[in-house]
A = this chain, B = another copy of it.
Amino acid sequence: MSAIRERLPNETLVYLGDTARVPYGSKSPETVIKYAWQCSNFLVEKGVKAIVVACNTASAVALSELSRGLKIPVLGVIEPGAEAAIAKSKRRAIGVIATQATIASNAYGKALKSLDGEVRVVSRATPLFVPLVEEGWVDNEVVAAAVKRYLEGMHDEGIDVLILGCTHYPLLKNAIQNEIGVDVQLVDSAETTALALEQLLISRDIKAVEGAGLHRLYVTDLLNKFEQIAGNFLGCEPPNVTRVDL
């Protein structure tokens, strides 16, 4: 949302966080697809003109079904992330770290191979990174131990790009970069997804070109801290957030 807001300041963003049922990354494809449909239907009812599935797990598991079933365009974060990684890799060897569900889907592997049939992909599930970030631990000795354990030997596989395949992982950038080494570039899909969204809106001639977006934020579970955290992420005053049932 932060990257999209920056690139597309005239758009009104309707944000939905399914906080009552997170995390998605450890759940089965059937359940993730069911939740993704409920979230999408909610947004469609709000009258949106396009949907960004801003979650790697939901993108990996549910995007093709949503695209087939919805009448408005749907954009995931996997393809933009894969494109950015391919553009940056000179050795044509790319690492991917993500949740269990994303890795099991092989969505990044397929997206990367469809862009470059010769690229080598090294994938690892690193599920503990999500709760570490949720705990607010992004650069302490627990993080260092977890990063070391997960990434062990990955550098020796010859990768020169590592995709951070979960929206939480960019917050662990320091610890991940320290472990993987400075010769491996980290890629997250926020900015490339915002760019892909802009191209999509332009190609369909539905890009807003004036006015300021009046954003609305919805969550399925509302903890006290959420509005403060949202303000920190967006670099603004704590926004109004509404709790909804799906």
Mark A residues whose CB is within 8 Å of B: 19-21, 26-28, 30-31, 127-128, 130-132, 134-135, 137, 140-142, 144-146, 149, 220-223
Inside 8 A of A26's CB, which chain B residues have their CB?
134, 223
Determine how many copies of this chain the complex contains: 2
B20, B130, B132, B135: which contacts A21 (Cβ < 8 A)? B20
- A28 to B141: give the CA distance in the assembly, Å: 29
Known A28-B221, A221-B27, A221-B31: A141·B134 in contact at CB below 8 Å: no
- Main secondary structure, interface of A, reads loop
Known A128-B132, A131-B131, A132-B128: A28·B142 in contact at CB below 8 Å: no
Q: A200 → chain B, closest Cβ, in Å?
A: 32
In the complex, the answer to whether A27 meets B20 with C-beta atoms within 8 Å is: yes
In the complex, the answer to whether B131 meets A142 with C-beta atoms within 8 Å is: no
Inside 8 A of A131's CB, which chain B residues have their CB?
127-128, 130-131
